[in-house]
Amino acid sequence: MRPNKRDELVRNALEVFYRDGFHATGMDKLVAQTGISKTSMYKHFRTKEEMILAVLRLRDERFRNWFCRRVEEIAVTPKARLLAAFDVLHEWIASPEFRGCMFIKAVSEFQDPKDPIHIQCATHKRMLLEYVQEIATESGVRDPAALARQLMLLKEGAIVTSVMLGNATPALDAKAAAEVLIEAAACRQT
């Protein structure tokens, strides 16, 4: 089945926004980069912000599905899955397509917490936090919410640091720190 123009536009716009940023990418640039006419673009999206929200929804769906599936493929036990999240993170950061986190980038450009784009980004991060917290709960630690927050801080820090340093080593460093946190959380359980 041939993808419709709207879906094609969102997929292409995702690549342009991810590479070039949101404020730096105007509608004229999107027209030039995606090959879709301005008329067609405005037929599907009244504003650039509507398009950004559609792009973020697609990125969220793709990334979370991939991330969770890879974690489940790599590890079986809850503790192993908590650590596997950092292996998956390393895999993503080491890939040639990696240019940082689209949601971190978007929040830095749309800082008002009431902005729909900011809200969409926060929702993505909250859903990942909930996923990690579910695994932490399954692992039996005393305070799974605290452990999940700590692991997410390591994950987010590794992403930003990897962008700044230009390598994937921070994901491995974060995994080593995660092992210490997981062990400490398991010890507090008894």
Specify the CATH number for the domain of residue 114. Answer: 1.10.357.10
Instruction: Give pLDDT, residue 1.
Output: 40
Instruction: Give pLDDT, residue 113.
Output: 97
CB atoms inside a 10 Å sphere around CB 118: 18
Task: Report yes or no on 158 lying in a domain.
Answer: yes
Distance CA 128, CA 135 (A): 11
Q: Domains in the chain: how many in total?
A: 1
Task: Report yes or no on 90 lying in a domain.
Answer: yes
Task: Report yes or no on 19 lying in a domain.
Answer: no
Instruction: Give pLDDT, residue 52.
Output: 97
Amino acid type, 10 = V
pTM, to two decimals:
0.92
Per-10-residue mean pLDDT, the chain, length 190: 76 94 91 85 90 97 98 97 98 96 97 98 98 97 97 98 97 98 80
Instruction: Give pLDDT, residue 27.
Output: 86
Task: Report yes or no on 73 lying in a domain.
Answer: yes
CA distances from 24 to 48, 110, 158, 174 (A): 12, 13, 25, 31
Structural domain boundaries enclosing 81: 56-189
Q: What share of the chain is helix, strand, coil (3-state, %, to 5)?
A: 80, 0, 20
Task: Report yes or no on 36 lying in a domain.
Answer: no
Distance CA 181, CA 147 (A): 7
Decide: 160 and 173 in contact? Cβ < 8 Å. no
Instruction: Give pLDDT, residue 190.
Output: 46
Task: Report yes or no on 117 lying in a domain.
Answer: yes
Task: Report yes or no on 38 lying in a domain.
Answer: no
Report the first-to-last Cα separation within the chain, whole angstroms.
55
Task: Report yes or no on 120 lying in a domain.
Answer: yes
